[in-house]
A = this chain, B = another copy of it.
Amino acid sequence: MRFGETRVMMKTDKIPEATIMRMTVYSRYIEHLRQQDVATISSFDIAEGAGVSSAQVRKDLAYFGEFGTRGVGYNVDELCGHIRRILGLSQEWPSVLVGAGKLGSALALYEGFNMRGFHIVGVFDEDPDPIGNRFGSIDVLPMGELEKVIENENVKIGIITVPAVAAQEVAERLVSAGVKAILNFSPYVFNLPEDIIVRHVDFSLYLEVLTFSLTYGKK
């Protein structure tokens, strides 16, 4: 049984998860520069934008092979595409969300998902009350349709925002229907097959990073 953030183990064990997290941040910054028609950047520029050292940037990028020209830097267009491919963003990832409560509806309406190419194809709930509602363009559907939608839309990603007591059952249904990766907002830690990728979002972790900084860091 494993707890929280660091639970996800890559099959490619050599690549630290922290590197992947930083790659997502680099990606945002570099795409921001591309929109401003910047053609070339150095690891120093990326480092400055992401708030890390340039040595860290070079080390992170090096996990994925050689790109960039010494003394010239990186071509912004190429680097954008390269990182998006690494992160799996060059393909579409239809997702389902289970739990149409406050958090579920906030996530269904979350602009950041569409901005990064994620598309929620259905929100599901046990409760008949929200069924038939729409969050933006997304229908709230009964749980009875979960398996059908996952199969028809070839969904590999499930997002869970149900109460803790229902989370394990929902996770098992997702996995049985073909979901391979779960983003879990419930406080429950799942017991699932080893090959299922689970990422747990615990909002209080973020607050603890703040209180550490306020206390120990005395920033």
Contacts and interface: CB of A to CB of B under 8 A. Distances in A.
Interface of A: 1-12, 15, 17-18, 20-25, 27-29, 32, 48-52, 86-89, 91, 93, 95, 101-103, 105-107, 109-113, 115-116, 118, 156-157, 180-183, 187, 195, 197, 199, 201-219
Contact of A217 (B10, B50, B95, B109): B10
Given A206-B199, A219-B11, A4 B20 contact: no
A3 B25 CA distance: 7
A28 B51 contact: no
As for how many copies of this chain the complex holds, the number is 2
A22 to B, nearest CB: 6
Contact of A24 (B88, B103, B180, B208): B208
12 contacts: A2-B51, A4-B25, A4-B28, A9-B219, A24-B205, A87-B212, A102-B103, A112-B203, A112-B204, A182-B210, A195-B219, A197-B213
